[in-house]
């Protein structure tokens, strides 16, 4: 199938992207890993021995990086609706985060023990229509927050990708009710045209 002009332009930008090239050099699966790296440099969320859940993990860059930081005494569990190539030491569940079955499987792996950090880079399949994409995105963010509140230990942390728009301000208010500190981050590796930002919450309050 012949590619459209816009598809060719996207591919050209993608392969010229400095973060794509850097990810390839350093053995990471996607440029998205550098967003988490920048957050880590500022907020020092991930520490050796931590238990971490990665929601929307595929293709696995965040899980790769988190696994390096938590070490052999820590744990990273990944979940995504898409397939993901195995990462040594990272249990992976393929399933829809909106369904009960993959969440039950995830809880089984966690053995009902609390986790220290939930990280979520989940985004819906976009249609290009803000009136459709924004509610879908916020719904996934709300599910991720509900999950974090269910599994986090006291003082735990939460990182979530959010698109600014309808529902965003209320979502921040909900996060501030649940956590002692909530800050927003726009990593340099996040494309400037994107409305995405990352909310970083610490000090989970039971």
Catalogue the active-site residues.
161
Residue 10 labeled ligand binder:
no
Nearest to 140 by CA among 183, 97, 88, 201: 97
**Residues 46, 117 contacting (CB under 8 angstroms):** yes
Give the SS3 label for residue 93. Answer: strand
CB 173 within 8 A of CB 179: no
Cα gap 198→39, rounded to integer Å: 9
Token pair for 84? 């993901």
43 labelled as ligand-binding?
no
- List the one residue out of 62, 37, 38, 39 whose CA is nearest residue 52: 62
96 marked as part of a ligand binding site: yes
Annotated binding residues for S-adenosyl-L-methionine, written as ranges, equal 60, 62, 80, 96, 121
Annotated binding residues, written as ranges, equal 60, 62, 80, 96, 121
């Amino acid at each position: 199938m012949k590619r459209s002009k816009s598809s060719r332009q996207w591919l050209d930008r993608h392969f010229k992207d400095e973060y794509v090239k850097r990810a390839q050099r350093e053995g990471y699966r996607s440029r998205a890993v550098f967003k988490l790296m920048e957050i880590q440099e500022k907020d020092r969320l991930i520490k050796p021995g931590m238990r971490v859940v990665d929601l929307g993990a595929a293709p696995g860059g965040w899980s790769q990086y988190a696994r390096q930081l938590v070490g052999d005494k820590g744990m990273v569990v990944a979940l995504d609706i898409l397939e993901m190539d195995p990462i040594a030491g990272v249990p992976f569940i393929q399933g829809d985060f909106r369904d009960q079955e993959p969440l039950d499987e995830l809880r089984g792996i966690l053995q009902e023990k609390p986790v220290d950090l939930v990280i979520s880079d989940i985004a819906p399949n976009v249609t290009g229509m803000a009136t459709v994409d924004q509610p879908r995105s916020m719904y996934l963010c709300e599910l991720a927050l509900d999950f974090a509140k269910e599994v986090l230990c006291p003082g735990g942390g939460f990182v979530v990708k959010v698109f600014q728009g309808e529902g965003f301000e209320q979502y921040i208010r909900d996060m501030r009710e649940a956590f002692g500190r909530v800050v927003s981050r726009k990593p340099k590796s996040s494309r400037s045209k994107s409305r995405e930002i990352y909310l970083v919450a610490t000090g989970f309050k039971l």
